[in-house]
Amino acid sequence: MGLPEDLSGSSSYQVADREVPGRRIPEATTLSDLAAPELASRAIPLPEANTLADSNYRRRVFGRIRSPDGNTRFFSPQTVLVRFHAGPQVAALRVEAMRELDSVETLRARADVAFAELDFLQVRQFTPNDTALSNQWHHSVIESFAAWEKSLGSATIRIAIVDSPFQMDHADLAANAVAGWSVVSNAAITASPGIAHSTAGAGMAAAVVNNGLGVAGTANCSLLPIHINGFTSEMYNAVVWAADHDVRVVNISWSGADSPSLNEAGLYLKNRARGLLAMSGVNGIGYLAYPGYPHIYCVSMTDAADNMQSRNGDHIDFSAPGFNVYSTTTGSAYAPANGTSFATPLFCGVLASLLSINPTLFPDEVVEILKVSAEDRGEPGWDRYFGWGRIQFGRAAAAAQSTRPDIRQVVWTNSEAVVTANYRAGVEHSLWKSTQLPSPGWFHVTDASAVTNGNVIVLTDPNAAGTSAYYQVRAAVEASPPP
């Protein structure tokens, strides 16, 4: 059938042939029924829908069409993904066999439908080869060492690797690896022998830094697997699950960045978890007519000399090293890797590091930091090869550091302490104090008053009597962050 080589084996996550706990199979809908006014009531939101994609995958039952580039694309039969304007999520409809394309066109013609698409089986962007490579040149190029002076990352920030699970007990990953989820079987993942593709990606993002072993990822953030076979619906469910579990960075090193369903998932991740969805910009050469979706951040691939080594198009947002990089692989080993599949998790590691430096950053603020700090290798501003530029980790980390609360002045007068600090809209600022350093404990000044003026906040402690005091200004995200 011309399927990817890794589809030849059986799944490690066996479930009943049709039933998946907690999921419902949509009722069958004929082509004529797709014009019915009450059609939306037959659609099941993806997190609740059993599209039978896993059953089809394991039995190797696929629909197929020829794409404009001449390649064969496979999809889960009798399933259409649809977003109704009035609905909060992408949903699944079960349509007539052999009429899937007709069903998509019929749905797209409805005034109440935002978009409709097939549930395509996406493909990984690349699998690592085993050519010898002895160093991680990319850290010098993106200036990781300067960034690590600001932070080595935080376990409170989590990165999801959406793929077949990586090797969780790899000696250079285990300290950062945490339990993940299989959207295929709707069950937790606590251990996995891994595959090379996801294990290399995991290492690029978060192989343990400064442990005296093997390679270094970008940040010591928590790293979790989310298992998919590769259908768009599974990717959507993976992003939704991640957002619902406070995962702020999601890496999908597969095709699919042209999917409106995944763009919706990226928006959900932003709104729910203040997170970001990054996807591969696609390997190969030449222009790719993908749409530039605003909630999917696509990463193209550069080499050690900052030459472009992957396809270009309107979908590219940033570029990052990914050509002949060195990372973790299965069997607790290390190997070179090559592809946008590895530029993307490197980008995700940078995202996680910036959020570790300042967890109150909103997604658009993180993206703006990356834009202004990136190395502009192509046309001025944005271009379809490098996007906004090749990521520059060192400068981005310094920019993120400057957004943290920074006390500019403390003035004591008449038993009051007036503390002036920098201020960011949409973030709650609070005053804390201690009577000595190192502090046995910081105390929240609950009766402090606050006045803002532009990018400055003035916090006043009305009870500052005593010989000395030490102050902190802390920032936290408000309960209802701005859109």
For residues 427 and 475, what is the distance between their CA atoms, to the nearest angstrom? 6
Number of neighbours of residue 291 by Cβ within 10 angstroms: 14
Q: Are 318 and 372 in contact (CB under 8 A)?
A: no
Residues with catalytic annotation? Answer: 163, 197, 341
Burial class (CB in 10 A: 0-12, 13-18, 19+), 216: buried
β partners of residue 328: 334
Is residue 281 within 8 A of residue 315, CB to CB? The reply is yes
Instruction: Say how many CA atoms lie within 13 Å of 16 toward its Cβ.
Output: 8
Q: How far is CA 470 from CA 318, 407, 410, 433, 437, in A?
A: 42, 11, 10, 5, 8
- Distances from the Cα of 401 to the Cα of 196, 356, 368, 369, 430, angstroms: 34, 10, 14, 11, 18
Element at 318 (helix H, strand E): strand 316-321
Chain center to CA of 260: 16
Tell me the pairing of strands 456-461 and 325-329: unpaired
What is the distance, to the nearest Å, from the Cα of residue 164 to the centroid of all Cα atoms in its chain? Answer: 16
Identify the CA nearest to 267 among candidates 250, 289, 288, 291: 250
How many residues appear in the chain?
483
Q: What is the CA radius of gyration of the chain?
A: 24
- For residues 273 and 160, is the Cβ–Cβ distance under 8 A? no
* CB-CB contact of 146 with 140 (8 Å): no
Q: Which of these, 70, 49, 50, 52, lies nearest to 61 by C-alpha position? A: 52
Q: How far is CA 27 from CA 30, 40, 49, 81, 369, in A?
A: 10, 12, 11, 14, 47
Its sign, for the CA torsion 69, 71, 77, 81, is: negative
Tokens of 47: 């997190």
* Dihedral-angle region of residue 71 (phi above 0 means left; psi in -120 to 50 means alpha; beta otherwise): beta
The count of other CB atoms within 10 Å of the CB of residue 123 is: 18
User: What type of residue sits at position 61?
Assistant: V
From the number of C-beta atoms within 10 Å of its C-beta (0-12, 13-18, 19+), residue 148 rates as buried
